[in-house]
Amino acid sequence: MIERAIVLSSGDELTTGRTVDTNANFIADKLVAAGLDVVAIMVVGDYPDRIAWAWQQAMQHAEVVIGTGGLGPTADDLTTEVLAQVAGRRLYMDQAIADRIRQMFAAMGRVMPENNLKQAMFPEGATIIPNALGTAPGFRLDIETERGGRHLIVLPGVPREMKPMIEEQVLPWLQQARGGEDVYLSHTFQTFGISESALDELVAGSIPSAEGRIAFRAAFPQISVRLTVHGPPAIASQRLAELSARLRERIGAYAYGEGDTSMEEVVGTMLTQRRLTLALAESCTGGLIGNRITNVPGSSAYFIGDFVTYSNDAKTAVLGVHAATLERVGAVSEEVALEMAAGARGLAGSDLGLATTGIAGPDGGTKDKPVGTVCIALATAEKSYVRRYQFWGTRDWVKILTSQVALDWVRRHLLGLDPSESGVLRR
Amino acid sequence: MIERAIVLSSGDELTTGRTVDTNANFIADKLVAAGLDVVAIMVVGDYPDRIAWAWQQAMQHAEVVIGTGGLGPTADDLTTEVLAQVAGRRLYMDQAIADRIRQMFAAMGRVMPENNLKQAMFPEGATIIPNALGTAPGFRLDIETERGGRHLIVLPGVPREMKPMIEEQVLPWLQQARGGEDVYLSHTFQTFGISESALDELVAGSIPSAEGRIAFRAAFPQISVRLTVHGPPAIASQRLAELSARLRERIGAYAYGEGDTSMEEVVGTMLTQRRLTLALAESCTGGLIGNRITNVPGSSAYFIGDFVTYSNDAKTAVLGVHAATLERVGAVSEEVALEMAAGARGLAGSDLGLATTGIAGPDGGTKDKPVGTVCIALATAEKSYVRRYQFWGTRDWVKILTSQVALDWVRRHLLGLDPSESGVLRR
């Protein structure tokens, strides 16, 4: 029976406070969604005795232990060696992996430093978990202990390598290893513009606790709502669909997407479906909105360009904002936002023009326009919209929040809703 | 002797992946700065046996244990009760604290629910640590074990209450309790354009292990190198300066900064000092470089604007790239990159013009220009530079790597080095 898991992170950067351990959080989230009980998260530095202690303790209290970190080529990468000792297994060199590492270096026209071969060493009996995005593969070691069978899984600490290994290899193995038991299924709604407690009230009573569980997760600026059900596959699947429909109705337009998606993906899909194009004029967000939009593959189909006009001169010279308007009401104003949006739309020849201008801080605030004052405008063929907001927080928060509200404007406009209703947090 | 610490966080929200444990990171950072060796971070959910296990283990391996969470008034707040059992102490109610909690409720015009009195219970012999910002005080329990004296510290899990309690009460107590012991000091170099194993070889032998410890941390696309020394304050301080100078020489221009800084901050400081201005023309990076530059407070002093010209028409209409050039060699070419850089510089009237054009993928690659083909150009009053790169990885990697190399071009140019030497990874 595989019921309990412990997540183990290693690295001096974690125990010395240089890095926040987000790997353990990611893995714990996935394990809980898969129906496991995460007994503990343990973090130790790069010391053999501490790594050994953590694995020994973890093996006592959980059937599955997933460790990340310590698979690099350098002297302080100790995980494989220590775990082999703890499990009483010898190390061997996997020739196929060693060749692959050599080939990866050769393909880049480099000679492989000998210490990289360390990444081809595994405890005997290990099942290798391939790493498509880096030189260090992970592995799984299945051992028998006096407390029962244990599954020890080691993955690299680099998040972008570790995450697909969890999703594409560890979770499917786990599902299979747990056999014909009930399945856990979940569905997630991505929401924006509503606080966690207001969301809680909104969905209260919609899901009887015997039928499903709801978990909120705030990752500024959005909050996701995850519904999890469990039971025999067919029943769970039907129940998930029914309860999801109920939640969909409750959450309404606060949900900008479902599943693992982002506001920029949702907006991109809507623009593509409607064959519309977008241009931006950014001031306080400094390129962030363009960056988010172009993170989506295929965005060149609808994204023409972004005019980041940080100085007043650039606003005038590039976007045609009137010097008189800047003089009269200042760069952070509804008037300038409207002229920027219209200017971007005209210059790019796009269907929509979206503009931001504001004071991200920490300096530049005044009594009338304190830090966090932001104007957003949207120009379309038929109509233009503008609104002044008073946001809060640090420079990066103001930038992120502004970019989120601005993208939500496009989404709401395309849905036929009033864009300017976005960004007024329901608490 | 107080040398080792363990940080312990409790709460179901942490083990289920709903919340990232930033408390432990904050506390570990403070403890390491105060010279302690943080042996482990342990995280458990709200179960009495798990909390007991964590405290028992922690007491075995460290003289100081700092735990957060589980001090609230509800049934799943178990820390005080469990710790009293583990330490073999009875609980008592502190009348002064009970009165204070009643008064806090009265001041808010509310009747105190009786379960709040739980927050006035402490193990016998505890030293109470007042909480200026909440109802739950913390406490310290000093006990003798067969392994020596142990100091068990419990604080609330709410960050804004916990942080001042650490800084204003726990750290001063720690300083006093440790007396004239050795300090730990560290210095960090931020590097780019060299692999972790090549860095390891580069610095090998420069720092005898008896004198200092080196730790690498890869956070794509940069790698930091941290040197830590310890000893009596004056000696440690001198040793840190000497060893840092040695590392500085070894790492050379691969180090773009020292301490807690970023490439965009370093470039910003250099531009400010030289009173130079910068404009961008981005294609494949889509606004990312502008976003990074404007993440730095005060960037409006040197950043004029960013012309994100995603379509060919925008490149021609906005930046004056010749349609004939686009026709002849395509948008991803040295020629177009040069025209974009010159165009941005001319349009913005800036000292420097920096341009990127490339294929971020996953689509759009051809045999001659596969995904990852990127051209970077820098235009200055005297001279222009351009280079074609073949980068690798996913769309976001190509964007991030391109932005990093492009910013490094500005840094190298301002240092009088050849910009185009950047981005050729030394392995």
pLDDT in tens, B13-45: 899 888 889 999 999 988 987 889 999 999 999
In the predicted structure, residue B86 carries a pLDDT above the cut 90: yes
pLDDT at A204: 85
Asked if the structure places residue B427 within a domain, the reply is no
Asked if the structure places residue B121 within a domain, the reply is yes
**Mean pLDDT score of chain B, rounded to an integer?**
93
Predicted confidence (pLDDT) per residue in A90-142, tens digit: 999 999 999 999 988 888 777 888 888 999 999 999 999 999 988 889 999 99
**Whole-angstrom Cα distance, residue B217 to residue B226?**
8
B181 vs A404: which has the higher pLDDT: A404
Are B393 and A31 in contact (CB < 8 Å)? no
The answer to whether residues A65 and A31 touch, using CB atoms and an 8 Å cutoff, is no
Q: How far is CA B231 from CA B36, B114, B134, B178, B237, in A?
A: 12, 51, 38, 14, 9
pLDDT at B89: 96
pLDDT at B424: 77
**Whole-angstrom Cα distance, residue A147 to residue B389?**
55
- Asked which of B236, B258, B280 is the last residue of a domain, the reply is B258
Residues A117 and A203 both lie in one domain: no
Quickly tell me which residue has 């005038």 as its tokens.
A316
Asked if the structure places residue A398 within a domain, the reply is yes
In the predicted structure, residue A41 carries a pLDDT above the cut 90: yes
A384 vs B104: which has the higher pLDDT: A384
- The CATH number assigned to the domain holding A375 equals 3.90.950.20
Average pLDDT over residues A315-325: 96
Token reading at B13: 């929200």
On whether ipTM exceeds 0.90, the answer is no
* Interface probe with B: pick from A26, A41, A280, A394, most Cβ of B within 10 Å: A41
Residues B243 and B321 both lie in one domain: no
Asked if the structure places residue A426 within a domain, the reply is no
pLDDT at A296: 97
CB of A171 less than 8 A from some CB of B: no
pLDDT at A189: 96
In the predicted structure, residue A218 carries a pLDDT above the cut 80: no
The answer to whether residues B198 and B145 touch, using CB atoms and an 8 Å cutoff, is no
pLDDT category, B104, cuts 50, 70, 90? confident
Residues B233 and B283 both lie in one domain: no
Residue percentage of chain A with pLDDT more than 90: 75
The answer to whether residues A391 and A401 touch, using CB atoms and an 8 Å cutoff, is yes
pLDDT at B218: 76
**Whole-angstrom Cα distance, residue B199 to residue B308?**
35
In the predicted structure, residue A305 carries a pLDDT above the cut 90: yes
**Whole-angstrom Cα distance, residue A244 to residue A188?**
9
Average pLDDT over residues A248-261: 94
Are A19 and B280 in contact (CB < 8 Å)? no
Residues A99 and A220 both lie in one domain: no
The number of distinct structural domains making up chain B is 3
Average pLDDT over residues B182-192: 87
Predicted confidence (pLDDT) per residue in A8-35, tens digit: 999 988 998 878 899 999 999 999 988 8
- Asked which of B258, B289, B310 is the last residue of a domain, the reply is B258
pLDDT at B137: 95
Residues B187 and B210 both lie in one domain: yes
Of residues A254, A252, A247, the one with CA closest to residue A207: A247
Residues A216 and A143 both lie in one domain: no
CB of A164 less than 8 A from some CB of B: no
In the predicted structure, residue A231 carries a pLDDT above the cut 90: no
CB of B209 less than 8 A from some CB of A: no
Of residues B234, B66, B44, the one with CA closest to residue B138: B66
Average pLDDT over residues B222-247: 92
Asked if the structure places residue A427 within a domain, the reply is no
Asked if the structure places residue A365 within a domain, the reply is yes
Radius of gyration of the CA atoms of chain B, in A? 28
**Whole-angstrom Cα distance, residue A285 to residue B294?**
8
Are B15 and A38 in contact (CB < 8 Å)? yes
Predicted confidence (pLDDT) per residue in A173-213, tens digit: 998 898 766 778 889 999 998 887 788 888 988 998 889 88
The verdict on whether omega for the bond into residue A221 sits within 30 degrees of 0, i.e. cis, is yes
Residues B42 and B114 both lie in one domain: yes
**Beta-bridge partner residues of B5:** B38, B64
Q: Three-class SS string for chain B?
A: CCCEEEEEEECHHHHCCCCCCHHHHHHHHHHHHCCCEEEEEEEECCCHHHHHHHHHHHHHHCCEEEEECCCCCCCCCCHHHHHHHHHCCCEEECHHHHHHHHHHHHHCCCCCCHHHHHHHEEECCCEEECCCCCCCCEEEEEEEECCEEEEEEEECCCHHHHHHHHHHHHHHHHHHHHCCCCEEEEEEEEECCECHHHHHHHHCCCCCCCCCEEEEEEECCEEEEEEEEEECHHHHHHHHHHHHHHHHHHHHHHEEEECCCCHHHHHHHHHHHHCCCEEEEECCCCCHHHHHHHCCCCHHHCEEEEEEECCHHHHHHHHCCCHHHHHHHCCCCHHHHHHHHHHHHHHHCCCEEEEEEECCCCCCCCCCCCCCEEEEEEECCCCEEEEEEECCCCHHHHHHHHHHHHHHHHHHHHCCCCHHHCCCCEC
pLDDT at B427: 65
**Mean pLDDT score of chain A, rounded to an integer?**
93
- Asked which of B231, B258, B285 is the last residue of a domain, the reply is B258
pLDDT at A417: 93
Asked if the structure places residue B326 within a domain, the reply is yes
The most distant pair of C-alpha atoms in chain A lies apart, rounded to whole Å, by 82
Asked if the structure places residue A300 within a domain, the reply is yes
Find the domain containing A293 and state its range. 263-421
Are A18 and B226 in contact (CB < 8 Å)? yes
Residues A417 and A328 both lie in one domain: yes
Residues B73 and B137 both lie in one domain: yes
Residues B200 and B330 both lie in one domain: no
Are B197 and A363 in contact (CB < 8 Å)? no
Residues A75 and A190 both lie in one domain: no
Average pLDDT over residues B361-373: 94
- The CATH number assigned to the domain holding B232 equals 3.30.70.2860
pLDDT at B14: 93
pLDDT at B180: 65
CB of A246 less than 8 A from some CB of B: no
Residue percentage of chain B with pLDDT more than 70: 99
pLDDT at B204: 86
Predicted confidence (pLDDT) per residue in B54-72, tens digit: 999 999 999 999 999 999 8
Residues B336 and B210 both lie in one domain: no
Predicted confidence (pLDDT) per residue in B390-410, tens digit: 998 899 999 999 999 999 999
- The CATH number assigned to the domain holding A51 equals 3.40.980.10
